[in-house]
Structures are given as structure tokens and as C-alpha cells.
Copies of this chain bind each other. A is one copy, B any other.
Amino acid sequence: MLKHFLYSPGPTPVPEEVLLEMANPLIHHRTPQFFKIIQENFELLQYIFQTKNPVITITSSGTGAMEASVTNFLSPKDKAIVLSAGKFGERFAEICRAYNINVIEIKAPYGMDVKAEELEKALKQNPDTKAVFTEYSETSTGVAFDIKSIAKVVKNTEAILVVDGISAIGAMEFKMDEWAIDVALAGSQKAFMIPPGLSFISFSEKAKKMMEKSTLPKYYFNLTKEKESLEKNTTAWTPAISLFIALNSALKLMKKEGLESITKRHALIAEACRKAVQSIGLSILPVVPAVKPSDTLTAVKVPAGIDGLKIPSLMRDKYGVTIAGGQESLKGKIFRLGHLGYFGISDIIIELQAMELALKELGYKFDYGKSVFTAQKVIEEHLL
């Protein structure tokens, strides 16, 4: 018997009670019963996003919400600045280009972030910028952008700030209204503890004004239409009913735990994970102290002489623990330990033990058991 654990930075584990919700007989989406689900979800999502803005739920993966954040606010040839230091920042730039947006990409190497000061300079040089796109937690590198400082810079310009919070919102501190974020995105298979298939997008009054003037083509991802539907507790198109129902159950669990407690839990486990892997001589991304790591995943550099592609497959096939490898230029060079969503202090121990076994088998020399013990110590110090 091999027990299985899903510890990727998305999809993340789904609580049993939430899984069972999806096994209930299907209900129709144009019924009072489902209208209530939509209304409750909406209010709970506002709580998670810390906003009074509408939060739209779309039946698509996160990339759909990213596309919606371009096509609903911009018009052809508009100028946009994309802060890019990983695969998902690059995706924003790709989407903008696909829709004929004039993109200025401020690029940093994978593992770094883009600083608010650089953006400020670029905005001064390009006062006609209509939108700034940034990651919060760059899932491909495990780096957290300083979106609070970035938002302060964008706030006093004509541009809107679009934040991809797909692997951050609901796990790391995020205050949409207080921090003056204009458009925020999230995905169901991350902190929201349900399977992939839904994405979330919220927009401010400033963004709404741009939306009214936007002429980029769109149909399925039409937020004006979705907003009107949401006001009647419905959706523009047939929604993924089972996932909406699972979401309702998961959001109630999140509300019960409370945002502050969720954030602290993720921060503690992330700290335990980072100290643990470093205690056995491994390095993580980001590489410099001025850049902050994300609290939802830890990107670990593959040590010299070890076949990086084998770490995730060995952990999964031999020890039942699914993590993620590196993507694009980081393929084989990092592995990513997820600690996100329905993830407790027991899970990080399981994850580290599987990592240690795989590393030992692949020939990495270290003090076996030390990363697990280091994590235990961090947890003990915080809890006892």
C-alpha cells in the first residue's frame, strides 16, 4: 500500500468533506437553491479578497482570468507594463501581445522580482500606460513580489494595477481595497482547496471605468455581462455547478478558520520548509535577501551532480508524494515543494521525509533526518 499525498503548488489537496459535496446529485443552476450558493460564495470571496468590489467566478482555469484581465479593461494598442520574472509574468505579456497591446516588459531573471522603484521609473517615462500587470506569488519560481509597494506607485497614475494572486490569495496577506489593487485574480485549485476549473476576478471602481471604454474583443470572458448576472445571483453562461458547490463548502471552512489564522499557518509552514531544506545544505529561490519568498511554495535548487528531473518522479512513484518540478528554463534545475491550501504541520513533515529519501537515493550527501527535525523545531518554537 502506498499512501498518496498531493503537495504540488496547485492542484492542492481537497478536504474529504469538500470532495463528498461533489458526489451529491447534481442540481440545476437556474434555481433558488443554486442562487443561494452563488450569493454566499460571492460574499465569502469578498471576505477572502478583502474587498467591497464584485468578485466574478469564471468556469475556466486561471489563465482564463488572466485573459479576462487584459481583454476587459484595455483597447487595441493601449500601452501596458508587465513585471516579469517567471513563467506567469511572461504569460501576461504573451496575452497582451495576442491582443495587440503595446507591451513594455520589465524583466528580471527567474528567482528575482521587479522592484517598485523600477516600475516608478518606467511609469514616469510612459505616462500613457493604461495598465500594470504583476504576479503576487510567481508560482514558477516561488518568489513573492512586493505588491504593497508596487500598488503605492501605481495608485497615483492613470494606470490600473492587475495582480495575479492565483497562488497567493487566500493563503498570504492580501487586502485588495486597503492596498489599492484594481484587478485581482485567483484560482480554485490553490488556497481555495477545491479542484481546478474555476477562476476568480475582482475589479475596482477605477478598473470599472476602464472596462466601460474597453474595445478589445471578448465574449465568454465578458465581465460586464458577468457582473450583471452576479447581481441576479447567477452567471452569464452555464457554470461548473459541482465546483461552485465544492467552493461553497471550502469557503465556509476558510471563513471558520479566519484569514489571519490561515495566513499565519501558511507563514509558519513556509518558514519551517525553508529552514528545513537549507539545514541540509540546499539553496532556495529567491537567492538574495532583498527578494522575498512566497509562503505557498518553496523552490529548491537541485544540488550539483543530482538528476533534477528524478526528484519529483521518485518522490511520487516510490513514496506517494506529488510535488512539482521546474518549468521552462528551470526544468531539472529546481523542484517545488507546495505547502498551500489544505496543508497542515503534519503535511510538511511527510513532504520533507519523502524529499530526503529521494535525495539520498539519488546520491546527495547530507545528514539524513535533519530537514525533518529542523521543521519540527521551527513548529515547536512557534506552537509551544
Q: Which one of A12-20, A110-118, A374-382 is at the B interface?
A: A12-20
- Beta-carbon contact of B67 and A219 below 8 Å: yes
Task: Tell me which of A4, A11, A19, A217 has the highest count of chain B C-beta atoms within 10 A of its own C-beta.
Answer: A217
What is the size, in residues, of chain A's interface with B at 8 Å between Cβ atoms?
Answer: 52
The listed residue (B11, B59, B98, B241) touching A11 by CB distance below 8 A is: B241
- Beta-carbon contact of A22 and B25 below 8 Å: no
Let me know if A170 is at the binding interface, CB within 8 A. Answer: no
Copies, count:
2
In Å, the complex CA distance between A221 and B241 comes to 21
In Å, the complex CA distance between A216 and B220 comes to 15
- Beta-carbon contact of A242 and B61 below 8 Å: no
Let me know if A156 is at the binding interface, CB within 8 A. Answer: no
Interface residues of A in 222-271 (CB under 8 A from B): 237-243
- Beta-carbon contact of B197 and A61 below 8 Å: no
Across the interface, which residues of B come within 8 angstroms of A19, CB to CB? 22-26
Let me know if A94 is at the binding interface, CB within 8 A. Answer: yes
- Beta-carbon contact of A196 and B11 below 8 Å: no
Across the interface, which residues of B come within 8 angstroms of A6, CB to CB? 25-28
In Å, the complex CA distance between A196 and B59 comes to 9
The chain B residue sitting closest to A236, CB to CB, is B63
- Beta-carbon contact of B220 and A64 below 8 Å: yes
A116 smallest CB distance to B (angstroms): 28
- Beta-carbon contact of B13 and A26 below 8 Å: yes
- Beta-carbon contact of B239 and A196 below 8 Å: yes
Let me know if A62 is at the binding interface, CB within 8 A. Answer: yes
Q: A19-B22, A27-B6, A28-B322 are in contact. Are A11 and B62 (CB under 8 A)?
A: no
- Beta-carbon contact of B28 and A196 below 8 Å: no
- Beta-carbon contact of A219 and B95 below 8 Å: yes
In Å, the complex CA distance between A221 and B67 comes to 10
Interface residues of A in 169-199 (CB under 8 A from B): 187, 189, 195-197
The listed residue (B14, B24, B220, B241) touching A25 by CB distance below 8 A is: B14
- Beta-carbon contact of A29 and B11 below 8 Å: yes
- Beta-carbon contact of B23 and A217 below 8 Å: no
Q: A19-B22, A67-B220, A98-B219 are in contact. Are A10 and B238 (CB under 8 A)?
A: yes
Let me know if A100 is at the binding interface, CB within 8 A. Answer: yes
Interface residues of A in 48-96 (CB under 8 A from B): 59-64, 67, 94-95
A337 smallest CB distance to B (angstroms): 14
In Å, the complex CA distance between A60 and B217 comes to 18
Let me know if A275 is at the binding interface, CB within 8 A. Answer: no
Q: Which residues of A approach B to under 8 Å, CB–CB? A: 4, 6, 8, 10-11, 13-14, 19-20, 22-31, 59-64, 67, 94-95, 98-100, 187, 189, 195-197, 216-221, 237-243, 316, 322, 324
- 25 A-B residue pairings within 8 Å (CB atoms): A4-B27, A6-B25, A6-B26, A6-B28, A8-B28, A11-B238, A11-B241, A19-B23, A19-B24, A19-B26, A26-B195, A27-B322, A31-B322, A59-B59, A59-B197, A60-B64, A60-B237, A61-B240, A64-B220, A64-B237, A67-B220, A98-B217, A98-B219, A216-B217, A240-B240
